[in-house]
Structure 1
Amino acid sequence: MEKPEISSTVLNCISLSEPDIHKSVALLKQACLDSGFFYVVDHGISQEFMDEVFSQSKKFFDLPIKEKMKILRNEKNRGYTPILDELLDPDNQVHGDYKEGYYIGVEVPQDDLQANKPFYGPNQWPSEDILPGWQKIMKRYHKEALRVAKDVARIIALALDLPSDFFDRPEMLGEPIATVRLLHYEARVSDPSKGLYGAGAHSDYGLITLLATDDVVGLQICKDRNSVPQVWEYVAPLKGGFIVNLGDMLERWSNCIFRSTLHRVVLDGKARYSIAFFVEPSHECIVECLPTCMSESNPPKFPPVTCAAYLSQRYMDTHADLSSYKNHTKLTITMNYIIYFHFEKLLFFRGPNTKRPSKKKKKKKKKTFSKWE
């Protein structure tokens, strides 16, 4: 049986140097109503610096697994996430994503009162002896990406008939939960018919996501998640630009007028690198329907929720429980072999010429993760 042909979608392109703000608002609004995805260019981050960030990202992922596991993701959602750690679409995946990642958030000192809150705290960093200058480059990228995100958020505010500085307020992006996630997808071939993905189908959780990618195609979007069958389209990489998508919080704020779209990564056997920047409001921010997005005939579709509560549940539902690493997981590393034992049972083995885990174990594996709607 031949695999269905996947076409490429066409996205609007927003220039942050466009002098006609009305043109930018119109293009962005159309994109938010249609697919929830668009490109952003002329953002002020040089191509030279972007190339350096990608180079440093590759250097980290090239480290021995033993070094990367020293800075395993902690309860503040900072640090390294191994292959298979994240299960985004448990109904359709036989196991977690074929990707590894690294989270970098807003730097909050340990002695700061804010550090007691979820998603706030100090970052974990690889040793300067191993990756000299790495921390400085990533901190700079975080700062630059946040600036771009705020510029995009101002156009979004105007598209929602709000003041342009609506999202600049302290409870919004004044003290945001903004997170860089470096990503490396293994050089594997995905097969959706067998439940094998670089990243399973999901929507992002926050306000917006800025995505920088290499030139390897893999990102797919589904504009209508309720269609049967679902129709998937590739999103082409854009050198020098960001792929921007709306998150679930913005969909809630807009009362589903703007769309948080399903997307996934399907690999063709080439390694793929990307850098996501997840933009969420402050810890205490209450996400509720905006006054410009409700009416008597269109009342709020969601109850109010705090940003921290919403994010905590979503991360809990998709990432492996940290206690499984600390209390129940034995990690054996020998050369380039990695064996994960979960509750004394073989969960995953990786080594030269390793075949994928048996699909017969699908149901058992799903029990180690929570399901989310």
Structure 2
Amino acid sequence: MPKLAPKRRQKDQKKKMENQKQTGPEAPIKVSTLNCINLSNPDIHQSVSLLKQACLDCGFFYVVNHGISQEFMDEVFVQSKKFFDLPLDEKMKILRSEKHRGYTPLLDEHLDLENQVHGDYKEGYYIGVNVPENDPESEKPFNGRNVWPESGVLPGWRETMEKFHHEALEVVKEVARIIALALDLEVDFFDKPDILGKPIAILRLLHYEGKISDPSKGIYGAGAHSDFGFVTLLATDDVMGLQICRDKDAKPQIWEYVTPIKGAFIVNLGDMLERWSNCIFKSTLHRVLGNGQDRYSIAYFVEPNHDCLVECLPTCKSENNPPKFPPIRCSTYLSQRYKDTHADLNAYNK
């Protein structure tokens, strides 16, 4: 398994985290080692092997040399911070719509109802595929018009985010080709018009505002959850916080920090791909613990077309391993998952 970060940096991170104890029934937290997929590697067989190993093991891996320049990544983070630095009343002018576009305030999302006392101590901003209101496609649950801060408030902000949205989708499509090969499918299986032809692609800017997490008191930056859909790209700053749990049924659960690597995307599989692969590939529990520092990350969630029927892939079933789930339409599945985890918008009118 390749080393992902410089050895000195790995040692420094391990020294900080290895012996950290949590109060309550949790085990010590360690630092994870994840496979790294180099998208410029000409040896596709090596990339497929590394990705397959990661997907069978924990569903998390790094992607490097993905084609988005470091300068542009840095600019996206600068622009994200500018938005979150705005006064709250300015941000609330573009409160998220029922189509999941716009600002999500602190505590709006509640990912772990069983263990969280309040919602997540983070604020966010949703940007989707822009579909005008007069387009018949806008009737679909996750289609709609994006909302933006006024250009006079944040000049150039919209253009930066639209460019990143477009470039990140190309990265996901490249990763999807390697996933297809790892599942013994044709390389362009997920590229089909009825799968990623018109994807539900949601960019989400995130700011964790410095609240110190305390699992023993039910306080988290983001509660434990697995992502809902197909594939997620995550870019982070250099503040540690993301943790994964490889075995959600372990008692106690073992949590591992994922080290931020500058310029890399952390990639993880969602529940929909686990379902699609008949649980061969894993969608893994993860959470964010705040340590008192402001932390910024950029998540990019990509799902198939609204009408895509998610049913057991032909290479993932056999007489001894029949399909574990009935077929379900992508938008039906996602709509319920979002409803279960977000505050009712009517609460903001009270």
Structure 1-normalised TM-score? Answer: 0.87
Residue 254 in structure 1 maps to residue 293 in structure 2 = no
The C-alpha deviation readout for 1:138-192, integer Å capped at 9, x for no partner, is 0000000000000000000000000111111112111000000000001121011
SS at match of 1:172: coil
- Map 1:77-156 → 2, pairs under 5 A: 77-156=100-179
Matched, 1:41 2:64: yes
Which residue matches 1:314?
Answer: 337
How far did residue 5 of structure 1 move?
A: 3.0
User: What SS does the aligned partner of 1:229 have?
Assistant: coil
- d(CA) in 2 for partners of 1:238 and 1:296? 42
Query: Which runs of structure 2 are paired with 1:1-373 in the superposition (5 Å)?
Result: 3=22, 4-326=27-349, 329=350
CA distance in 1: counterparts of 2:192 and 2:86, whole angstroms? 40
Q: Which runs of 4+ in 1 moved over 4 A?
A: none
Report the CA distance between 1:27 and its aligned residue: 0.2
* Counterpart residue identity of residue 225, structure 1: K
Question: How far is the alpha carbon of 1:2 from its aligned partner?
Answer: 5.4
Q: Distance in 2 between matches of 1:114 and 1:315?
A: 20
Give 1:278 deviation, angstroms: 0.2
Distance, in Å, in 1 between the alignment partners of 2:166 and 2:56 is: 29
Q: Does the 8 Å contact 2:125/2:206 carry over to 1?
A: yes
Partner in structure 2 of residue 343 of structure 1: none
Q: Deviations over 1:77-96 (max 9, x none)?
A: 10100000000001100000
CA distance in 2, matches of 1:79, 1:172: 26
Give 3-state SS (helix, strand or coil) of 2:202's partner. Answer: strand
Whether the 8 Å CA contact 2:131–2:138 is kept in 1: the answer is: yes
Counterparts of 1:2 and 1:209 in 2: how far apart (Å)? 29
Q: Secondary structure at the match of 2:31?
A: coil
Give the Cα separation in 2 of the matches to 1:110 and 1:59.
Answer: 28
Cα distance in 1 for partners of 2:237, 2:305 equals 30
Count of paired positions: 327
How many Å apart are 1:110 and its aligned residue? 1.4
Q: Say which SS state the counterpart of residue 181 (structure 1) adopts.
A: strand
SS of the residue 1:309 aligns to? helix
Matched residue type, 1:81:
T
Give the letter for the 1:90 counterpart. L
Could you list the runs of 5+ residues in structure 1 that have no partner in the other structure? 330-373
2:8 corresponds to: none
State the AA in 2 paired with 1:212. A
Q: In structure 2, what residue type is equivalent to 1:281?
A: P
Q: After alignment, is 92-101 or 164-173 more displaced?
A: 164-173
Deviation sequence 1:101-135 (CA, Å, 0-9, x none): 00000111111111111100110100001001100
Cα distance between partner residues in 2 of 1:281 and 1:186: 32
Give CA deviations for 1:282-320 in whole Å, capped at 9, x if unaligned.
100111110100011111111111110111000000000
For 1:138 and 1:224, locate their aligned partners in 2 and report how far apart those are by CA, in whole Å: 35
Amino acid at match of 1:206: G
1:173 counterpart SS class = coil
Q: Within 2, Cα distance between the matches of 1:128 and 1:205? A: 33
Q: CA deviation at 1:267?
A: 1.1
Partner Cα separation in structure 2 for residue 184 and residue 36 of structure 1? 24
Distance 1:198 1:24 in 2: 33
Mark the CA change 1:305 to 1:239 in structure 2 (over 3 Å): closer, same or farther. same
**Aligned partners of 2:348 and 2:217: how far apart in 1?**
27
- Asked whether the equivalents of residues 21 and 29 of structure 2 are also in contact (C-alpha less than 8 Å), the reply is no
CA distance in 2, matches of 1:147, 1:162: 20
- Amino acid in structure 1 at the alignment position of 2:233: L
SS of the residue 2:103 aligns to: strand
Unaligned runs of 5+ in 2: 1-19
Distance in 1, Cα, partners of 2:215 & 2:282: 24
Q: Aligned equivalents of 2:123 and 2:321: distance in 1?
A: 41
Counterpart Cα distance in 2 of 1:90 and 1:11? 28
TM-score (norm 2): 0.92
SS in 1 for 2:335: helix
